[in-house]
Structure 1
């Protein structure tokens, strides 16, 4: 049975859960912007652990049961990165396999650049080359990239949701479900599954509205794109062919600038936590490097 644990990290309390044996190589899951550890599915974590990893997932500050801050709190992307490192310190983990999604992928890149001795392997999911969410990599003069081009797939953009009262449970759950669907694809879970996830997220969160504002203000930290060539850890890039937040130029740029990085396209996946339909591929890719 998995039990939540609170640990003091960098002057705050961080909530975490672990799966598997402490003697196995550690793997740290780093969630996206304003996202708690709930976004990493329980069964997905168990399967990673069954593959011989000591899996750690945690709530970013301001999410889940970790320390919450009032709206407008001043912390930075560097603080979010240091929370991840501080958590590894608290667990007595000198280095780990890092798996980061979106903002979590940007934090993982920064760790690999600034603290390379803490990284065994690097897996970057649905993220960009150390840039902010509205930035597009400069590709002028870039030569051909040795990766498979995603097939042409029709993309239907769902209408964006209006302003959401994140303090109201029903409204927040509906807003989260609409948001996930707007970023997803044909494999995104159905509404009942999404509602269960959204309810869990809401019920474990102190203030969704404040968390979303504070993480947006914190940002990704100073760009590290020009330093990514120094990354020595084996790097895997997993990217959905339907990701509209970070279109194909973003993972291609990551594959170009990180030495030896391998880009794997997830067919029919949007900007989302990898859905169950592609778990087989995702798990085999993540667990591949020993």
Structure 2
């Protein structure tokens, strides 16, 4: 069952949310990373998680999708505010506790929620993210070159779609799972529904990264999910993250990049439904 998109008041701002499944089931809150609206937690993936007896919530972060936006280049909020937004979404929906899954930049949001709102978080899934710190391998030259190219004209929707599709290709890196048709279709939908493309493209990269980094203090069940060939945060980032969080498990997606490819959706749905596999083989093909 899909509830449809709606605007809620959360942490003092208007955010767009959508839910899947039975509200009486244990909740899973999906939080995406920089400049990504909730659409990048694909609807079919959400439905597969809901089919495993979970009430799935996805939402547009500030400056993405239909949620509140700030002037381009002047976000006026921090990563900690975005963490409080996630808890505010739970408040707005009357959800007491949730398994929180954070992807890429939102790994820090999810971890921050577990540290500062421990009573609200039942478990964590941290996807394609990093603990930061010295000694970890850098981002790939291809990713750095692409993101440093200046980006598209925000007023040219077709150029933005091309840029986002190209970015998804770079995120995929040497992975064989990149689906250009599916990524372009998502980009078209994302651009069409964004309150401010200019703000979406810029503001998350300008916010203060003030979230709590005491990963060793996390005391909820945690699974780190990471692509074997991630070009943004190479695999040692995932190993470092697992080592810092007590009892954390690591699920490596063979041959995947900085993505959550459709062939692994059932594996991921099992993971957030509380049945995390400790090893997974590469899908055929």
Give the TM interval when normalised to the shorter protein: 0.7 to 0.9
Residues 6-49 of structure 1: per-residue CA shift (max 9 Å, x gap): 11112221100000001000100001111110101111000100
* Counterpart for residue 104 of structure 2: 102
Post-superposition offset of 1:157: 4.5
* Counterpart for residue 185 of structure 2: 196
**Paired residues of 2:230 and 2:257 also in contact (CA < 8 A):** yes
* Counterpart for residue 187 of structure 1: 177
* Secondary structure of 1:196 counterpart: helix
Seen in structure 2, the aligned counterparts of structure 1 residues 277 and 36 have a Cα distance that, compared at 3 Å, is same
* Counterpart for residue 42 of structure 1: 43
* Counterpart for residue 28 of structure 2: 27
Residues 120-179 of structure 1: per-residue CA shift (max 9 Å, x gap): 1100000011x3xxxx4447xxxxxxxxxxxxxxx9957727431122110000000000
| In 2, Cα distance between equivalents of 1:250 and 1:137 | 11
Aligned-residue Cα RMSD (Å) equals: 1.9
Does 1:245 pair with 2:232?
A: yes
Seen in structure 2, the aligned counterparts of structure 1 residues 263 and 219 have a Cα distance that, compared at 3 Å, is farther
Q: Which of 245, 249, 253 is matched with 1:262 structurally? A: 249
Does 1:205 pair with 2:186?
A: no
* Secondary structure of 2:88 counterpart: helix
* Secondary structure of 1:160 counterpart: helix
| In 2, Cα distance between equivalents of 1:167 and 1:2 | 32
| In 2, Cα distance between equivalents of 1:20 and 1:170 | 34
| In 1, Cα distance between equivalents of 2:113 and 2:161 | 33
**Paired residues of 1:237 and 1:251 also in contact (CA < 8 A):** yes
Post-superposition offset of 1:50: 0.4
* Secondary structure of 1:55 counterpart: strand
In the superposition, the TM-score normalised over structure 2's length comes to 0.88
Q: Which of 81, 84, 92 is matched with 1:82 structurally? A: 84
| In 2, Cα distance between equivalents of 1:219 and 1:263 | 28
Post-superposition offset of 1:94: 1.6
* Counterpart for residue 11 of structure 1: 12
* Number of equivalences: 266
* Counterpart for residue 55 of structure 2: 54
- Structure 2 gaps, min length 5: 277-285
* Counterpart for residue 64 of structure 1: 65
* Secondary structure of 1:68 counterpart: coil
* Secondary structure of 1:218 counterpart: coil
Does 1:285 pair with 2:271?
A: yes
Write the mapping of 1:96-245 to structure 2, written as runs, cut at 5 A. Answer: 96-129=98-131, 131=132, 136-138=133-135, 157=142, 160=146, 162=149, 163-184=151-172, 185-189=175-179, 191-224=180-213, 227-245=214-232
**Paired residues of 2:78 and 2:210 also in contact (CA < 8 A):** yes
Q: Which of 251, 267, 275 is matched with 2:261 structurally? A: 275
**Paired residues of 2:35 and 2:200 also in contact (CA < 8 A):** yes
